[in-house]
Chain A
Amino acid sequence: MSDSKLSPKQWVAPHIAGLPRSGIRDFFELVKTMDDVISLGIGEPDFVTPWHIREACIYAINHGYTSYTSNLGDPRLRKAICKYSAENFGLEYQPENECIVTVGVSEALDIVLRAVLSPGDEVLYHEPCYVSYAPSVRMTHAVPVPVLTRAENDFVLQVEDLEKAVTPRSKVLLLNYPNNPTGAGMTLADKQLMADFAIRHDLLVLSDEIYEELSYIPRTPSIASLPGMKERTVTLNGFSKAFAMTGFRIGYACGPDDLIEAMMKIHQYSMLCASSIAQAAAIEALQNGQGPREDMRREYEQRRNVIVKRLNEIGLPCFMPRGAFYVFPRISSTGLDSATFAKRLLQEKHVAVVPGTAFGSCGEGFVRCSYATSLEEIEIAMTRIQEFVSALS
């Protein structure tokens, strides 16, 4: 018998204990206590997965496609991914050894970071960014090095800022364009600047292109397709956003075979393989999903037009997002900080938005509004936000 007063917390590793809870989660707890909330806080499509994809999954179940697949993923899916990547992103990869199917981009990001990082290595990434980037880096005992992006550049990462942050320990440049939470996107010229920087400092680029198909500017080839980049880039993508398949948990990574092999080792021991029936659904999405995918993209684009116009009219300025389904209006003119703005808007008007600070400290002064919700709801939310803002002044 021990009379130790230590709580079970003592077992938690310090680098995990030190991880912050996602700012989004705290907010979620608050929302749960209320009904009739209109939520612009949802980072997933409001569309149900297109029926042909669901049907393919049901078919797979009916026909007993319920066993493990190869570690890298069903060869038919890898083949479909490489064909799709060639046609849509200008990327040429071999299905046999340059592509791995993962449990969402989430797992792809985790295993690629674990595959390449040693304690003390530095990862350059932009803020604001997706909530998992810094924690995922920390879990490998490497060091996340945020580089701030600004509204005046439409939140596109600037080489000058990268140059100030790069050190001899820098190993990875992590990019996410089109961007969650800002809706920023990169032109081909922007991508070329990133590529030049990565080559100059001998960095590996991880490009999270999960919103690539939800672009509202003419699509340009992926950064990995630029000269000299293929050997130093791993491209991450998935089905969650473009095909409205978040619950299927399916994504992939493409890159040089040595890196895919290293990722495969981790994947094989920690995950074994992605869900077979989700893989069957993914094959269908790639083979026949273009039409529904484009319909959803157009609907997002039109909602974007509406929400950007309204927010600017209300006096919460934002630029026209180039992709994804988020707008990132500046709210500092209200005199409130992001967290207070979001909390009071929720309590007083029952509209949920996410404080910009959930995506990095430079998100202060901004909130994220998702337009992955019906235009009807967006219109009501805008009316309520208008009332909220005018009552403040």
Chain B
Amino acid sequence: MNDATLKKEIVALLRRNARMPEKELADRLNSTVDKIAALIRELEKDRVIMGYAAIINQEAENGEVRAIIEVGVQPERDTGFDTIAERLGKFPEVHSVYLVSGHYDLRLEVVGQSMQDVASFVSSKLASQPGVKSTATYFLLKKYKEAGVQISKDEHYERLKIVP
């Protein structure tokens, strides 16, 4: 496997399990630990891998509140949506920012300790930003799937122990 293919495979595996040991990566991909470690460093340096996060079942964990916020904005001459999107992304409450097609422009995911928290962020910080024309806030009530993982586990059917 050449380096580019190896990197692709590493990323695919780390997406599934960010804690996969370098040894396992090396064995799976018929490579060496040194080689894998070097390629991961490159992926990190090139910001292909930007971090490693756990996939948390929020309900089981803490009482965090999340909201999806649709934001209509006035694009700027020269930079379009980029300047305002990056500015909004600087708030730590903002978990993700996407430019989307459709009825509005930016889709934010915002995290707070309570509904009050999120509501006051929207009114005092977000809606008052220059360039923001409109917001619509949707509080998330229940999560069924996160980062490719179904929250409720599928019923598990046991295979026969020996089959031809």
* Residues of chain A whose beta carbon lies under 8 Å from any beta carbon of chain B: 22, 24, 27-28, 31-32, 37, 39, 41-44, 46, 48, 130-132, 180, 298, 302-303, 305-306, 309, 352, 354, 358, 375
Contact = CB atoms under 8 A, between A and B. Distances in A.
A37 B160 CA distance: 12
B162 A42 contact: yes
Given A22-B164, A131-B164, A42 B159 contact: yes
Interface in B135-160: 154, 157, 159-160
Contacts of B30: 305
A42 B28 contact: no
B37 interface: no
A305 B27 contact: yes
Nearest to B20: A375
B162 A39 contact: yes
B24 interface: yes
Contacts of B9: 298
A375 B30 CA distance: 15
Nearest to B31: A305
Interface of B: 9, 24, 27-30, 154, 157, 159-164
Contacts of B161: 28, 31-32, 37, 39, 41-42, 352
B28 A28 contact: no
Among B9, B27, B154, B162, residue most surrounded by chain A Cβ atoms (within 10 Å): B162
A46 to B, nearest CB: 7
Contacts of A298: 9
Contact of A46 (B24, B154, B159, B162): B159
Among B154, B161, B164, residue most surrounded by chain A Cβ atoms (within 10 Å): B164
Contacts of B163: 24, 41-44
B18 to A, nearest CB: 16
B27 to A, nearest CB: 4
B159 A28 contact: no
B27 A352 contact: no
Among B9, B29, B163, residue most surrounded by chain A Cβ atoms (within 10 Å): B163
A42 B27 contact: no
B29 A302 contact: yes
B28 A352 contact: no
Nearest to A306: B27
Given A48-B154, A375-B24, A42 B29 contact: no
A28 B27 contact: no
A132 B164 contact: yes
Nearest to B159: A42
Contacts of B159: 42, 44, 46
Nearest to A132: B164
A302 B29 CA distance: 6
20 contacts: A22-B164, A24-B162, A24-B163, A24-B164, A31-B162, A37-B161, A42-B160, A43-B164, A44-B159, A44-B163, A48-B154, A131-B164, A298-B9, A302-B29, A305-B29, A306-B24, A352-B162, A354-B162, A358-B164, A375-B24
Q: A-B pairs with the 6 shortest C-beta distances?
A: A302-B28, A41-B162, A28-B162, A306-B27, A31-B161, A39-B161
Nearest to B28: A302
A130 B163 CA distance: 11
B163 to A, nearest CB: 5
Contacts of A354: 162
A46 B160 CA distance: 11
B164 A306 contact: no
B153 to A, nearest CB: 12
Contacts of A309: 27
A130 B164 contact: yes
Contacts of B162: 24, 27-28, 31, 39, 41-42, 352, 354
Nearest to A131: B164
A48 B159 CA distance: 10
A126 B28 CA distance: 31
A375 B16 CA distance: 14
Nearest to A31: B161
B40 to A, nearest CB: 17
B164 A303 contact: no
Contacts of B28: 302-303, 305-306, 375
A309 B23 CA distance: 12
Given A48-B154, A305-B27, A352-B162, 4 more contacts: A24-B162, A28-B160, A37-B161, A306-B28
B21 to A, nearest CB: 11
Contacts of A302: 28-29
Nearest to B13: A302
B15 to A, nearest CB: 12
Among B9, B30, B154, residue most surrounded by chain A Cβ atoms (within 10 Å): B30
Nearest to A379: B24
A383 to B, nearest CB: 14
Contacts of B24: 306, 375
